[in-house]
Structure 1
């Protein structure tokens, strides 16, 4: 039993490592961002379709309302990926990934606007901590600064990701998580198809190995492994472990891109990740209390 738990923990860490590669790959791939996202999506959608058929997951839509929710959530996932990759291109992997990782706090702040759930005032404190961390990342608010632009795009990406997750949460009781991911990235593939003619994709001959890694390892394999880990761990536990993604991303960027984080990045990132861990631990305790009350 202990060996099985250890093996599942290793698989979750491996999934986290795979997903963490998105930062370095997004920064390194020399192609227009919308083209990168389309290629990432089409590769991953084909693989996830095959996986869903192999696992015999239900792919038929139940209602027209579900189709609308899939389209809306797919559009938010697309804007999340696009703004995230622009954050990476404009600044660096550290700022892009750390700015994105405010999404757990953003989700907690805006969730009461979408779902009938009670707002907890502690989120205001955590939100202030996040803003302080972002300020340390880019202390001089100058829109001409690449770091400020990167941080702002990262925050925007976090907002889009939070909304996408809130919408997706309404569908997990009716659809398998992998099926939801398949539909969302398939919608991205359809919506972004025109960019192949509108933007320059001639560089694909030199970039396709990295695009394949992004589509296969980072997106299809990494996210599927992460979803599968939820069978063995709580969402809170998975969130805490996943919060090491920016750290792994920074290490990968240092090894392959020679990006060296500044002290501002180190201290600001510490504050941001601390808020993520605090919220994850609080959520875990809350879920345990709710389980006991039942």
Structure 2
């Protein structure tokens, strides 16, 4: 791959991850409940992706059984986003982002059972490090117990639909998977709002809310997703995974930039956050090394 093409894709990927990190800022700025916020977000994202498919003349046809699976997975996607934004509103952006990093822990626990894979010692070790970081944060940030719990639940939902998607993406385009899951999320959230009486005056948008929601739905969801998928054609999965792990780092830096003292946490929080983020960064590096070593052992000696 040419030098400039590789660097261009790396720049796009870093920009995409930075945009994803910005979603926490928008969640804190929008004056809506988490459920209403996500309802608007998924509608805007769905419409934007539909326009993108029409403009690029992309077929959106999928088998009926696949559509049904993606529809139900959409409930997990919607729950993940609602819990994440509620975690922000119940604590801080930094707390929500660090707790979301526990996705690696839940995946290490759940994937062997769901996909019937052999349990990885490296994944268990990484999970134990993340658990120690979470316990430390719980110990020092007791006033944010609800936010931490919601953040962890959000990570759990994200882990479940990520494992499901890892199977679907082997058969269908990632963009279509996202499109139909977002569509499913719209239906499930709408049903919840209908049953709970959530379609009321509290959904009214202020001008600033509308602007932030458009940024969240179009740039932070649709555009960022398409950009993130496009670079995967030229960058290795390892490099993509490593850079994607920067999302909580970028998000916390942006939170400090926008909110300053409000995002200031205790030393215990930062110690726990460093343990969690270190585990997440070390995991793909060690995994790559182990896989490379296995391949080298299988190759014939010259």
Both structures adopt the same fold (TM-score exceeding 0.5): yes
* Alignment partner of 1:214 is 2:216: yes
* Alignment partner of 1:86 is 2:86: yes
| Aligned with residue 273 of structure 2, among 249, 266, 269 | 269
**What secondary structure, in the 3-state scheme, does the structure 2 residue paired with 1:193 have?**
helix
Report matched runs for 1:247-286 at 5 Å: 247-258=249-260, 259-262=262-265, 263-286=267-290
CA contact (8 A) 2:87 2:150 kept: yes
**What secondary structure, in the 3-state scheme, does the structure 2 residue paired with 1:5 have?**
helix
Alpha-carbon deviation of 1:286? 5.0
CA contact (8 A) 2:72 2:184 kept: no
Q: Distance in 2 between matches of 1:115 and 1:267?
A: 33
TM-score, normalisation: structure 2? 0.89
Greater C-alpha radius of gyration: 2
Aligned-residue RMSD, C-alpha: 2.1
CA contact (8 A) 1:105 1:276 kept: no
Deviates more, 1:128-137 or 1:49-58: 49-58
Alpha-carbon deviation of 1:56? 3.7
Alpha-carbon deviation of 1:289? 5.7
Q: Deviations over 1:42-77 (max 9, x none)?
A: 111111112223334331122x32122101211111
1:120 corresponds to: 120
Change over 3 Å in CA distance of 1:281–1:58 after alignment to 2: farther
CA contact (8 A) 1:57 1:176 kept: no
Change over 3 Å in CA distance of 1:141–1:97 after alignment to 2: closer
1:108 corresponds to: 108
2:95 corresponds to: 95
CA contact (8 A) 2:98 2:248 kept: yes
Q: Distance in 2 between matches of 1:286 and 1:87?
A: 36
Change over 3 Å in CA distance of 1:173–1:208 after alignment to 2: same
- Number of equivalent positions: 290
2:129 corresponds to: 129
Q: Distance in 2 between matches of 1:131 and 1:234?
A: 29
CA contact (8 A) 2:67 2:180 kept: no
CA contact (8 A) 1:94 1:265 kept: no
Alpha-carbon deviation of 1:133? 0.9
TM-score, normalisation: structure 1? 0.91
2:232 corresponds to: 230
Q: Distance in 2 between matches of 1:5 and 1:20?
A: 23
2:50 corresponds to: 49
Change over 3 Å in CA distance of 1:43–1:119 after alignment to 2: same
- Large movers: runs of 4+ above 6 Å: none
Q: Distance in 2 between matches of 1:85 and 1:42?
A: 16
Consecutive unaligned residues of structure 1, counting only runs of 5 or more, are none
Alpha-carbon deviation of 1:290? 6.9
